[in-house]
């Protein structure tokens, strides 16, 4: 009895780790530090500095500790760093579950800036030339590597673009039109087709007028 109680206490005290909760389409891969890449599978526990990779049409969903989650898709590559999702390329939608009790903001870093979200839902699309950060609902703060800071509200987007002439810069924030919002909601590979729930989906649909 005493041994069983000790095991239970140890389990409760063990640090929570990210977990793969859905892999609706493949190819989708996980590479733990110092290990070979393997197929992502539901229930898989992810260590710090694990690499996640998807190839079209692959997608996966991960639940983080403390009420945070994200979905990854497209030709994506992401590293789970301490306190940060390091998105090298591809698409991500990340959110903080309602009622999760606060805590530090969830940060998603790209090659040109970092988006910080707290009680909200953010979408980022990072290609070789462009990075787009879009707030599906709530406030998203974007701090660029060049020292700029943008604050996005629901339905707003900021973009970083590289021009053919070799220049680059940030554009926005701009608010998407009703038609653009409707099209993005209908076609999004990260809002649609998952089995695991997205807790903020009803919130963003009401916030942006998809439901009443």
Q: What are phi and psi of 120, to 5 degrees?
A: -155, -175
Which pLDDT score, from 0 to 100, does residue 35 have?
A: 97
Helix (H) or strand (E) segment spanning residue 132: strand 130-137
pLDDT band for position 98 (cuts 50, 70, 90): confident
- The average pLDDT across 146-172 equals 87
If we measure between CA atoms, which residue out of 208, 48, 40, 45 comes closest to residue 135?
208
pTM confidence score: 0.90
Taking the chain, what is the end-to-end CA distance rounded to the nearest angstrom?
54
Q: Is the dihedral of CA 186, 150, 132, 53 positive or negative?
A: negative
Q: Is residue 212 part of a domain?
A: no
Q: What is the pLDDT of residues 22-61, one digit of tens each?
A: 999 999 999 999 999 999 999 999 999 999 999 999 999 9
CATH number at residue 175: 2.60.120.1440
If we measure between CA atoms, which residue out of 113, 131, 136, 111 comes closest to residue 209?
136
Do strands 130-137 and 121-126 pair parallel, antiparallel, or not at all (unpaired)? antiparallel
Segment among 27-31, 114-118, 140-144 with least mean pLDDT: 114-118
Cβ neighbours of 172 (radius 10 Å): 16
Total domain count, the chain: 1
Q: Is residue 148 part of a domain?
A: yes
Whether the predicted pLDDT of 86 surpasses 50: yes
Q: Is residue 79 part of a domain?
A: yes
Could you give the count of Cα atoms lying within 13 Å of 37 in the half-sphere of its Cβ? 8
Q: Is residue 188 part of a domain?
A: yes
Tokens 């579950």 label which residue?
Answer: 97
Domain with 76, as residue range(s), is: 2-207
Q: Is 43 exposed, middle or buried (0-12, 13-18, 19+ CB in 10 A)?
A: exposed
Q: Is residue 85 part of a domain?
A: yes
Q: Is residue 24 part of a domain?
A: yes
Q: pLDDT > 90: what percent of the chain?
A: 76
Q: What is the pLDDT of residues 160-183, one digit of tens each?
A: 987 655 567 999 999 999 999 999
């Amino acid at each position: 009895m005493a041994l069983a109680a000790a095991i239970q206490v140890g389990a409760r005290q063990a640090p929570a780790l990210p977990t793969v909760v859905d892999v609706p389409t493949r190819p989708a891969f996980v590479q733990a530090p110092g290990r070979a890449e393997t197929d992502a599978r539901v229930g898989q526990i992810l260590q710090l500095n694990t690499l996640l990779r998807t190839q079209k049409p692959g997608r996966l969903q991960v639940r983080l500790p403390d009420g945070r989650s994200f979905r990854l898709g497209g030709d994506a590559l992401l590293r789970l760093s301490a306190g940060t999702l390091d998105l090298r390329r591809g698409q991500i939608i990340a959110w903080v579950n309602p009622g999760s009790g606060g805590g530090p903001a969830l940060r998603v870093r790209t090659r040109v800036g970092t988006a910080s979200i707290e009680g909200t839902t953010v979408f980022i699309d990072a290609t070789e030339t462009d990075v787009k950060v879009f707030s599906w609902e709530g406030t998203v703060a974007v701090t660029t590597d060049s020292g700029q800071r943008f604050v996005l509200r629901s339905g707003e987007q900021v973009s970083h673009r590289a021009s053919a002439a070799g220049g680059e810069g940030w554009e926005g924030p701009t608010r998407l039109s009703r038609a653009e919002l409707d099209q993005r909601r209908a076609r999004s590979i990260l809002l649609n087709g998952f089995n695991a729930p997205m807790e903020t989906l009803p919130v963003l649909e009401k916030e942006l007028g998809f439901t009443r």
